[in-house]
Amino acid sequence: MSNDVAPSDFEEQRQVVLSMLKNITISESNCPTGARVSVVAYSRHTKYLIRFQEHRSRKHLMEAVENLAQERTTEQRHLGAAMLFVGRNVFKRVRAGQMIRKVAVFFSSGQSQDPDDVLAAVMEYRALKIIPAVISLRNTPRISRAMEADDSGNSMFALLRRQQDLEKVKNCAVCY
């Protein structure tokens, strides 16, 4: 929700989120099967829009995502700060278990103001066993290079305009 996100970009990103949610099983109880989903918005600051525990059915979650409104701000994009926030706060209280995967998917419509923080977040995610993926509307070489610094192959960068990249994120990061 930074200052340069056009309404058409926001809507395109929302449609990708909805398409991803159609293909995953949503956890409807405390059983460790299925995904729990949280949504945050970021510019210079990061804030919760949907928390993990708020929607326990696909229908309600999809409705909540469809009803998200774009907020206008004068602040620039700080992807690294948002990634650090998510790693340190959103994943703070998650279910434990051998088969639990933590995946964080970020959308960006352009270059971030803090590519060094993106690199720091990628390394922190590796230590926390969180799989990060950045889906960008535009080619952002500095973010792409920061994601490639994780030589484990778990960090992913995808251009939204290239369907094969998006499918890789869906199949390899989100659905595994």
Q: What is the pLDDT along the chain (176 residues), one digit of tens a residue?
A: 788 888 899 999 999 999 888 878 888 777 767 888 899 999 888 999 998 888 878 889 999 999 999 988 888 889 999 999 999 999 887 766 667 789 999 999 888 878 889 999 999 999 999 999 999 988 898 999 999 888 888 899 999 888 888 888 888 888 76
Tell me what pLDDT residue 63 has.
94
Q: What confidence score (pLDDT) does residue 135 get?
A: 93
Q: How distant, in Å, are the alpha carbons of 5, 49, 83, 138 from that of 9?
A: 6, 18, 20, 11
pLDDT at residue 55 in the model: 81
Quote the CA–CA distance of 64 and 160 in Å, as a whole number.
22
Show the 3-state SS of 102-148: EEEEEEECCCCCCHHHHHHHHHHHHHHCEEEEEEECCCCHHHHHHHH
pTM: 0.89
